[in-house]
Amino acid sequence: MGDDKVMKEAMEVMTLFQVLPRLVVFDLDYTLWPFYCECRSKREMPCLYPDAKGILCALKDKGVDMAIASRSPSRDIAETFIHKLGISPMFVAREIFSSWSHKTEHFKKIQEKTCVPYESMLFFDDENRNIESVSKMGVTSILVNNGVTLGAFRQGLTQFSQAPSSSNKDRKR
Ligand SMILES: [Mg+2]
């Protein structure tokens, strides 16, 4: 499916929900793209998972903010790839650094920068330890198996809308 078709479907999926997250946070390696960027060279041209671009474009179009939370030790390569892919203006925060903690520091920084409460965030990641620690902060967190897909996106929005605090969340704008 092309990016435009995925975007259209992602837009349709979003219309099904009364409540949307204010901020959607993505991991990079094995969530937005199918590799560890520390194993790559900056000279390469990276690719995203097939549904990733369409989902990012749909969120952008809908006015939902996005951010990156990556524990990559090679921030320079990750940033180079984000620029090469033309997606850097889409993110209001990009926290890319290695850490002992499982992304709790990343989310504290994202929260400080965006002022969005954890309960209004949705997060996608391919590692269960990150999902566990970040969901304890109050963020709706979705484990992806094969990168972010339309199926994972729909699951994320469903889980977000069913979270206990969703009655306090901002209604769809
Ligand atoms: Mg990952």
pLDDT in tens, 44-102: 999 999 999 999 999 999 999 999 999 999 999 999 999 999 999 999 999 999 998 99
Asked if residue 171 has pLDDT above 70, the reply is no
pLDDT digits 0-9 by tens, 107-134:
999 999 999 999 999 999 999 999 999 9
Closest to 132 measured CA to CA, from 158, 152, 102: 102
What distance in angstroms lies between residue 167's CA and the mean position of ligand 1's atoms?
31
Q: Known catalytic residue: 3? A: no
Closest to 156 measured CA to CA, from 139, 141, 138: 141
Contact 165, 138 (CB under 8 A): yes
Contact 125, 71 (CB under 8 A): no
Q: Say what the pTM is.
A: 0.94
- Which one from 27, 51, 65, 126 is the annotated catalytic residue? 27
What distance in angstroms lies between residue 127's CA and the mean position of ligand 1's atoms?
6
* Confidence band for 169, pLDDT divided at 50, 70 and 90: low
What distance in angstroms lies between residue 21's CA and the mean position of ligand 1's atoms?
21
Asked if residue 23 has pLDDT above 80, the reply is yes
* DSSP structural state of residue 158: H
Largest separation between any pair of C-alpha atoms in the chain = 47
Tell me what pLDDT residue 164 has: 76
Question: Can you say how many angstroms the Cα of residue 13 is from the centroid of all Cα atoms in its chain?
Answer: 16
Helix axes of 52-62 and 3-15: crossing angle, nearest 10 degrees: 50
Question: Could you say which architecture CATH assigns to the domain 3-160?
Answer: 3-Layer(aba) Sandwich (3.40)
Tell me what pLDDT residue 173 has: 45
Asked if residue 166 has pLDDT above 80, the reply is no
Q: Known catalytic residue: 170? A: no
Starting from the edge strand earliest in sequence, which strands make up the sheet with 65-70, in order? Answer: 91-96, 65-70, 23-26, 121-125, 140-143
